Amino acid sequence: MQKTLFAAALALSLVGCSQNAITGKNQLTLYNDADLQTMALQQYRQFLSENKVVAVNTSKDAEMVRRVGQRLTSAINQYYTGKGLGSELAGYQWEYNLVDSKEVNAWCMPGGKIVVYTGLLPITQNEAALAVVMGHEIAHALAKHGNERMSRASLAELGGQALSVALANKSPIAQSIFNSAYGVGTNLGVMLPFGRSQELEADKFGLIFSSLAGYNPQEAIGLWERMEKASGGNKPPEFLSTHPAEATRIQKLREMMPEALKYYKPMGK
């Protein structure tokens, strides 16, 4: 029986392996992008209905979030189109919202559903640093890190045969695993973590995307210095719990910076 389950899981993992368009790395992606986008939209709408969304017409901060999001996604569309990868953005309907919450958090769901929490803004402090964070979260979505962590969790939880049935029937099991992977409500503690290699990938492309949008990527250094100071040596905010330590991350960002700066063209020039 164990051999049968292992063989089925191996077959599924081989079928589900694909090369990511921007990272160039092979990854396990068992879930269909369109299905994930549908589940994301459902949870996104539920989240917005249960939380206080800051109106753009009454808040400069909300206006800034939308402005940064629009510049980032415009740059990303151009980046993908220029590389002949425009089809990779199929189904993306970008949305940007600022939510009133003390949590230091931001996220982007499959399909381009983006939320920034007001608790993040005292640490970002400026538009360029916010662009770095939003670019990072968008990079997670585009690199399909969520699909990858859902796929690995599904294999571990269900085994090969059960998973093949769940995927074929689009059962509630998949929705349950999605809710765990993208838990954005009050139960962030159950959210499946990104791996540290995924975090560094998101850092790299977050810098590139913010540079392409006309924001100085060097603001990332000050951002993480402030993040380190804000954590005070204690446990970091929940969405940073699996991120590299701030000192390590700053070192890696410095190493990534020369490449990111190649894409940087200040706005208005």
DSSP 6-48: HHHHHHHHHHTEEE-TTT--EEE--S-HHHHHHHHHHHHHHHH
Q: Which of 137, 201, 219, 246 is catalytic?
A: 137
Pairing status of strand 26-28 against strand 95-99: unpaired
Q: What is the sign of the dihedral through the CA atoms of 13, 16, 18 and 20?
A: negative
Residue 241 carries which DSSP code? T
Beta-carbon count within 10 A of 172 CB? 10
Work out the end-to-end distance of the chain between its first and last CA atoms, rounded to an integer number of angstroms.
Answer: 65
Residues of the chain with pLDDT under 70: 1-16, 157-175, 183-194, 232-246, 268-269
137 counts as catalytic? yes
Tens digits of residue pLDDT in 56-94: 999 999 999 999 999 999 999 999 999 999 999 999 999
Q: 213, 246, 221: which is closest to 139 by C-alpha? A: 213
